[in-house]
């Protein structure tokens, strides 16, 4: 439980930090971008070819940096959510083609969708993003091919932050994404949800994928766990609370089928 709490505090602090950095960085970039454009015009009167080449490179860097700050800002704002009732089976079915394309030819895709799955209530785009993020991580962990399996089933679970209380288990829809990839070391498994923690080469990983999935799960009153063994594979489980619609069935009339007490 302490771990989860630390995780939440860390997320909060990182969110504030990245928000500050991104804002300042964007202002600076706007200044650079403006000056470069002016220099471009001046260059036209001196050594136009050289000036133009350098300026093009510089403007390219500015664009790359701006795209980084946009991603940081999106992370810091931590997604304003628009929760709606969702049929997870329909959502996963609609993502099948995208997932197949993302996996490529060397990775097979299996779906195990329970036929009587409960509904959930969360942001559809964020749920899609979370599933896609987890699938991309799985793909990256299987450079020589393998199997990706996605299961969705009804399950009881304990919110890890409430595990010390006497609270009974709660009903969740559990989405499990399992791969047969390289797996994680103990250290990676423990740090995987940390913002900016990545074992990928510079430029290939941001270290934000799993922390965003974690943040989304917490904001949706669910949670997320990782089971992983080096060289065996990884299973990430996303627990989202069961959604019970407010629509009530008509009440059975008092007297019907009931013993009558005077």
Residue 173's Cβ-count burial label (10 Å; 0-12, 13-18, 19+) is: buried
- Minimal CA–CA distance to 122: which of 154, 156, 80? 80
Of 157, 99, 85, give the one whose Cα is nearest residue 128.
Answer: 99
Return the SS3 of 147: strand
168 contact partners, CB below 8 Å, separation of at least 6: none
Query: Nearer Cβ to ligand ADP, position 76 or 117?
Result: 76
Q: Work out the burial of residue 242: count CB atoms within 10 Å of its CB; fewer than 13 is exposed, 13-18 middle, 19 or more buried.
A: middle
Between residue 172 and residue 191, which ones bind ligand ADP under the rule CB under 6 A? 179, 181-184, 188
Least distance in angstroms from the C-beta of 180 to ligand ADP = 10
Site residues (CB under 6 A) for ligand ADP, limited to 50-79: none
User: C-beta of 213: minimal distance to ligand ADP in Å?
Assistant: 8
Per-position x/- string for 24-53, each x denoting binding to ligand ADP as judged by CB under 6 A, each - no binding: ------------------------------
Number of H helices, E strands in the chain: 6, 7
Smaller CB distance to ligand ADP: residue 72 or 141?
141
Contact string (CB under 6 A) for ligand ADP, positions 204-243, x = contact:
-xxxxxxx----------------------x---------
* Binding-site size, ligand ADP (CB under 6 A): 22
**Which residue number, 111 or 132, has a Cβ lying nearer to ligand ADP?**
132
- Verify binding: residue 198, ligand ADP, rule CB under 6 A: yes
Q: State which residue, 24 or 232, has the beta carbon closest to ligand ADP.
A: 232
Alpha-carbon dihedral of residues 209, 210, 211, 213, nearest 10 degrees? 90
| Interface contacts to ligand ADP, rule CB under 6 A | 137-138, 141, 179, 181-184, 188, 192, 197-200, 205-211, 234
């Amino acid at each position: 439980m302490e771990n989860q709490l630390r995780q939440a505090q860390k997320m909060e602090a990182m969110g504030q930090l990245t928000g500050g950095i991104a804002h300042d960085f964007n202002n600076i970039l706007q200044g650079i971008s403006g000056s470069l454009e002016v220099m471009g015009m001046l260059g036209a009167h001196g050594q136009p070819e050289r000036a133009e080449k350098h300026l093009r490179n510089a403007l390219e860097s500015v664009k790359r940096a701006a795209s980084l700050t946009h991603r940081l800002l999106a992370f810091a704002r931590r997604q304003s959510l628009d929760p709606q009732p969702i049929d997870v089976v329909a959502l996963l079915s609609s993502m099948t083609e995208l997932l197949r394309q993302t996996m490529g030819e060397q990775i097979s895709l299996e779906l195990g969708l329970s036929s009587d799955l409960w509904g959930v209530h969360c942001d559809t785009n964020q749920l899609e993003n979370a599933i896609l993020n987890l699938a991309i991580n799985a793909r990256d962990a299987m450079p020589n091919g393998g199997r990706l399996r996605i299961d969705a089933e009804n399950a009881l679970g304990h919110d890890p932050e409430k595990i010390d209380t006497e609270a009974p288990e709660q009903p969740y829809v559990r989405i499990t994404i399992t791969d047969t990839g390289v797996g994680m070391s103990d250290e990676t498994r423990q740090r995987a949800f940390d913002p900016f923690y990545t074992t990928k080469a510079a430029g290939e990983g941001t270290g934000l994928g799993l922390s965003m999935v974690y943040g989304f799960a917490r904001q949706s009153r669910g949670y997320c766990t990782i089971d992983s063994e080096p060289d065996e594979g990884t299973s990430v489980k996303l627990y989202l609370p069961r959604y019970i619609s407010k629509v009530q069935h008509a009440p059975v009339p008092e007297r019907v089928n009931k013993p009558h007490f005077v």
